[in-house]
Amino acid sequence: MHERCRGLIWLQYMLKIQQTKRRTLRFTLQETQEEALLKVIADAKKLLNDTVIPPVEFTPFEEALMNFVMLPCLKQKHYEFFGIPEGQAITEEIRLNLHNSLSEEQKTVLKREFLLYWMVQTLRIDKKSALLLELVKSYFPDEMDEIEHVHEVFTKKTKEITTLLIVSIKYCVFVRRR
């Protein structure tokens, strides 16, 4: 009886070792597969970076990828239009579900939001700002005219006050010298 118990214990021990070895081998196999996939991805990225892609029309797949890339630029005010629950962030899973199934109206909104996202990231006087002003004026001509008028009036008043200050300073200097 005592001998049988030792035999069972030994058998259980050997089974555990075999299970551990199998788990280790499965993990190693999975690691190797992941490593190989990462190398494939790295080589594909290198190929894309080093090769000139001919200037041919975008494929439907590339159009769908553009939607995938542009989706993070979507503002929350458009989430309902895209079927995204309010208060939810645009995760990669949502992007994967949406990017291939957008209507033409949704694509138009998405392209415009992407464009605005990149255009409004400036607050200096340069060519990009000029393009931004032209773009906004194309959407809202009356509002832009009003905005420009308000700032022209402010600039004109500031210029008048500055001119008066300069004249008064010159007068004070002239009177003191006498």
Number of domains in the chain: 3
Amino acid occupying residue 70: M
**Range(s) of the domain holding residue 176:** 143-178
What are the residues whose beta carbons fall under 8 Å from the beta carbon of 107, sequence distance 6 or more?
67
Q: What distance, in Å, lies between the first and last C-alpha atoms of the chain?
A: 129
Quote the pLDDT of residue 28: 72
Looking only at Cα atoms, what is the longest distance across the chain? 129
Quote the pLDDT of residue 103: 94
Q: What is the DSSP string of 26-71?
A: HHHHHHHHHHHHHHHHHHHHHHHHHSPPP--PPPHHHHHHHHHHHG
| Dihedral angle over CA of 25, 27, 33, 36, nearest 10 | -100
CA separation for the pair 153, 159 (Å, rounded): 10
Amino acid occupying residue 141: P
Structure-block tokens of residue 16: 């555990």
HSE, CB side, 13 Å, CA atoms: give it for residue 87: 0
Of 102, 115, 41, residue with least CA distance to 73: 115
Quote the pLDDT of residue 12: 66
CA separation for the pair 138, 152 (Å, rounded): 20
pLDDT in tens, 57-94: 989 999 999 999 999 999 999 999 999 988 888 999 99
Q: Do 108 and 134 share a domain, yes or no?
A: yes
Q: Do 36 and 9 share a domain, yes or no?
A: yes
Q: Do 14 and 32 share a domain, yes or no?
A: yes
Q: Do 23 and 37 share a domain, yes or no?
A: yes
Q: Which of 39, 56, 73 is the last residue before a domain boundary? A: 56
Which residues of the chain register pLDDT less than 50? Answer: none
Q: Do 94 and 128 share a domain, yes or no?
A: yes
* Angle at CA of residue 102, ends 99 and 104, nearest 5°: 135
Q: Do 130 and 87 share a domain, yes or no?
A: yes
